[in-house]
Chains A and B, each alone.
Chain A
Amino acid sequence: MVEGALMLTCLIPALHFDDGTWQAITVSGLFTFFVGLMLAVSFSHHKRLADRHLSYLLVVLMWVVLSVFGTLPFLTTGVTLKFSDALFESTSGITSTGATIFSAVEWIPASVLLWRSMTQWFGGFGIVLMVLALVPSMGINRYTLYTAEASGADNSNEQTKSMAATIRRTLGVYVMLTMAFILFLWKSGMHVWDAVNTTFTNISSGGFSIYNNSLQHTTHTQQYIISAAMLLSGINFSLMYDFFSLHWERLHNKFDQIRCFIIMLVASIIFVVIALRFNMNYSWADALREGTFQTISVITTTGSLTADTSQWWVPITFLFVMLSLCGSMAGSTSGGIKTMRVLILVRNVRMILRNRLHPRSVNQVRLNKRPVSSHIITNVMVIFLIYVAVIFCGIMMLMLSGISATESIGAAIACVTGYGPGLGLSGGFGCYSAFTPLAKFICSFLMVMGRLECLTVIVLFTRAFWRRR
């Protein structure tokens, strides 16, 4: 229902630019709106969602259904006629991945472009909302993926807030940030239309662009502004709320993640800048700008580009792949494994090492000075391994559908982490249009998997799930 309403907003540019797509958009918008309305009415008597099975199913269905309906604008306006293409593009939007099948974006009608950007904005918000508000309220937090974030290992005050309050706050922060960056970009000399689209896709760590060369044409100031937007998209939203509402003492609750995130980011930027300066002969200013922009774009899994990174030195590419796997903070719009999990994984290894060296000592994994319970550690371990396994299966399936080795590795990782550009032809300014329809379906599936952190989707495929209760 919300999606239908959003589609209708795309009428505005359609009418404004008078590009003759307004009928199509209206039809798909109204259709989605009514289907949503019907579903909402028919299920309105289900007051509680206490059933665990149903909630997993619901979460997955939510993303799948949104993606499927999201294809309508692409199909009805005739931008692409193949369902696989439309689904890929729509899923990539909703999961804020930013992988595109359009080799030439500039001829696409304005309304559809806005729709693309909007799906990302909406999708980015959706995931934050789900992690911060919906999942804790569904009562499935004990054994879910979001345990680490939702169960109070991280921030104990989160659970005491009501769901409505969380939604309100998150929405508030999100909208404010969006407005602010639209304003900034506009002030720095960007056209309003560009500013809106760019903000939508970057604040949600999406990465769609309305130009073929992504953001290469933007001025240097604008690139730094966009970097800031992307950086914010990698930060936990309740953290941002605390920050902007001046509750700075609460930042201590997440001190470890912040530190780890900053260290990872800064170290990578330094490496990339030095490599660009000395290996690829950039000037210091250029190296700093490009390096900062690309590294932030990767670590927040945004995927906006100011240069053709597929041509960059191989170790940088490798570093980027690994950074996108790590991702940024949980409870943000970005993808990847998340800083906190990486931190727990590393600290757990350290603890085990200590235990082996000093068998009689008592060691604990601590995060933010609080001990992490063992079930959270195993949870993190399981998610990590499943993540790796899913990427691996993705690579295998993509190879089977006829994609080359490098391309498959790049595409699978880019889709699961939500980064966007892969390696080879699909990397840099390239696109996924050369993929076979089957490969596109696989990629779409991987995107949803990655966004929902694999386990939710995998549960649906187990026998235990469908066994009668």
Chain B
Amino acid sequence: MSQHKINRIKELPVERLGIRKFNFKLIVHITGILLTWMSISMVLPLAVSLHSHDGAQFAIIASALLILMAGMLLRNILGRNPDYELKEMESYWITAIIWIVVPICGTLPYLFLGDMASFTDAAFESFSGFTTTGSSVVPYPEELPPSLLVYRSFTQWIGGIGLLLFVVAIFSNLGLTSRQLFDAEFSGTQQRRLHPHLSKSVSRLWRIYTIITLLMMVLLLVTGVPIVDSICIAFSTVSTGGFLPYHDGLSMLSNGSLMVITIFMILSGISLAELYLLITGRWRQMARDQELRTYLGLMFLSVAVCSIAFISVGNKPSESIRYSLFHIASTMSSCGFYLPKLGHWSFLVSVFTFMLIIIGASAGSTGGGIKIWRVMTVTKYIGNYVTRMLHPNAVICIKMNKKVVEKEYINKIFAYVFLYLSFIVIGAFVLTLCGSSIPDAICMAAANISNLGPSPLINNLGGDLEYAMLPDLAKWTITVLMLAGRLELFVLIAIFSPAYWRRR
């Protein structure tokens, strides 16, 4: 038995009494490990840079080294020999700190290359990357060096699977149980675990994620996309991020590549656990999942409605259907890719899109939004409620996937939805302070808290709008919204709530 395990057993009774101090060292230690890994992962952009001779190699090496040094410092000096014990509180702290520290370190390449005018811009871009939002302050990404483009999309790819899965992986190495962390990342969704062993289910999630990304890269290459672009697009799609190497959406790609992207967008809106079933061939089990069915059903319905709406305002049928399919897939999975707009726009599509932005993707996927699972539960409960208004003595319970949903849990979901809407309202209010019009502000807040990023909706309602032109306060507001959406609100609020700081 290793030394730290013995320590743990010794300290157990004291810990039960709640006397133990806040385990700050462990948090520092873990952040350090993560930063070390992050600097190692910069090998990929470096390779691209060396391959394409874009002159960005020194900036990347410099930032990688800086991050490595910071990581070493945190891991081996400040956070040396930590106490390997984690409480609920500390797991929240780890989540929040990692999600703030890593994107801030991620600004370094942008800053070193001098492409960003200010730290605000770099931070916006970096947070937008790690939270898989995809809102960009770069008006012409073509002018960036290819390695930086890859780096941008790569941050999304890391952010998509969730930085915490890294941590969980580290933890299993350290011999810690880290279920809370897993739950903090996928909170409140009764996530199906792939394997009774947490570390194994995490490694499976990783494997699926990587396989899908590689598959997509290959398919894109086959349909004729240049290699750097296909790497970028695959990273951005699978993580439902939305950074693109082009300034005008995906208009220059062939129909075949668009088809590939659409399919992978739809896939990335599905829970990773379901995708695992798909890959391992257990289709019947997969088809039984209610959330998946609702996701596909809702998608089909939306595509139908939008196509009809587009056709009715005078677009060509084939174009309308193609555009609707792409647009809905991009919105529901919260990818945020866009094509050049159709000649005639329909307001119905705007409203429908807004609804889909808020609903978002399946729980356990890389997408954002309130999540279909929660929306389903809420809708079922309201239907149930109306029936009970008429028959007050009836006992009806709500079932999801044939399991009864507890009342406590429903209350939590309701509270989540309420919080989500409040965040949008508050965010939109601050954005109006910065000079946006009301519909624009609401759409921007919704699109960013749902980690969607660019949406034709924002342009449609308020004329031309680019994130680059917003004032700094607006950029920081949006950054907070992105982070809140990615961490599913509770984690962020928990840290900043007075209830947390009250003496225990």
Contacts and interface: CB of A to CB of B under 8 A. Distances in A.
Interface of A: 52-53, 56, 142-144, 314-315, 317-319, 321-322, 345, 348-350, 352-354, 356-359, 374, 377-379, 381-382, 384-386, 388, 392, 395-396, 399-400, 405-406, 409, 423, 455, 458-459, 462, 464-465
B459 interface: no
Given A382-B382, A405-B439, A406-B438, A315 B389 contact: no
- The 4 tightest CB contacts between A and B, nearest first, are A381-B414, A399-B347, A143-B389, A315-B432
A379 B417 CA distance: 15
Which of A52, A142, A356, A399 counts the most B-chain CB atoms under 10 A from its CB?
A356
Interface string B440-480: 01000000000000000000010000000000000000000
Interface stretch (B44-52, B95-103, B418-426): B418-426
A357 B500 contact: yes
A354 B493 CA distance: 11
25 contacts: A142-B392, A143-B389, A315-B429, A317-B432, A317-B438, A318-B428, A318-B429, A322-B429, A348-B411, A352-B411, A353-B497, A356-B490, A357-B92, A381-B418, A382-B385, A385-B382, A385-B414, A399-B348, A399-B350, A399-B351, A405-B350, A405-B461, A406-B437, A406-B439, A464-B387
A386 B382 contact: yes
SS class, residues of chain B in contact with chain A: helix
Given A314-B435, A378-B410, A405-B461, 7 more contacts: A314-B438, A315-B429, A348-B414, A378-B414, A392-B355, A455-B386, A455-B389
Nearest to B495: A357
Contacts of B414: 348, 378, 381-382, 385
Contacts of A409: 438-439
A400 B499 contact: no
Nearest to B457: A405
A318 B381 contact: no
Given A352-B415, A353-B497, A459-B390, A382 B438 contact: no
A396 B351 CA distance: 6
Given A314-B432, A348-B411, A349-B415, A464 B386 contact: yes
B405 to A, nearest CB: 12
A339 to B, nearest CB: 15
B388 interface: yes
Interface of B: 88-89, 92, 347-348, 350-352, 355, 378, 381-382, 385-392, 407, 410-412, 414-415, 417-419, 421, 425, 428-429, 432-433, 435-439, 441, 461, 490, 493-494, 497, 499-500, 504
A319 B429 contact: yes
SS class, residues of chain A in contact with chain B: helix
Contacts of A142: 392
A462 B382 CA distance: 12
Given A399-B350, A405-B350, A357 B437 contact: no
A289 to B, nearest CB: 24
Given A378-B410, A396-B348, A358 B438 contact: no
Contacts of A352: 411-412, 415
Contacts of A317: 432, 438
A459 B88 CA distance: 43
Contacts of B385: 143, 378-379, 382
A458 B386 contact: yes
A24 B15 CA distance: 84
B88 A359 contact: yes
Contacts of B436: 314
Nearest to A381: B414
Which of A322, A377, A385, A458 counts the most B-chain CB atoms under 10 A from its CB?
A385
A349 B412 CA distance: 8
A348 B418 CA distance: 10
Nearest to A348: B415
Contacts of A314: 432, 435-438
B171 to A, nearest CB: 20
Nearest to B352: A396
B284 to A, nearest CB: 32
Given A315-B432, A353-B497, A381-B414, A144 B425 contact: no
Nearest to A322: B425
Contact of A462 (B378, B386, B490, B504): B386
B452 to A, nearest CB: 18
A399 B349 CA distance: 10
Nearest to B499: A354
Which of A345, A388, A464 counts the most B-chain CB atoms under 10 A from its CB?
A464
A459 B425 contact: no
B400 to A, nearest CB: 17
A353 B378 CA distance: 19
Contacts of A399: 347-348, 350-351
Contacts of A406: 437-439
A374 B419 CA distance: 18
Given A374-B407, A392-B355, A459-B386, A350 B499 contact: yes
B31 to A, nearest CB: 21
Contacts of A388: 421
Given A352-B412, A357-B494, A385-B378, A405 B418 contact: no
A241 B432 CA distance: 41
Contacts of B490: 353, 356
A50 to B, nearest CB: 13
A462 B355 CA distance: 23
Given A353-B490, A459-B386, A464-B386, A318 B441 contact: yes
B438 A378 contact: no
B347 A400 contact: yes
Contacts of B387: 462, 464
Contacts of B499: 350, 353-354, 357-358
A455 B389 CA distance: 9
A321 B389 contact: no
Contact of B494 (A353, A384, A405): A353
A318 B438 contact: yes
Nearest to B348: A400
B65 to A, nearest CB: 39
Contacts of A458: 386
Contact of A395 (B351, B391, B410, B411): B351
B389 A144 contact: yes
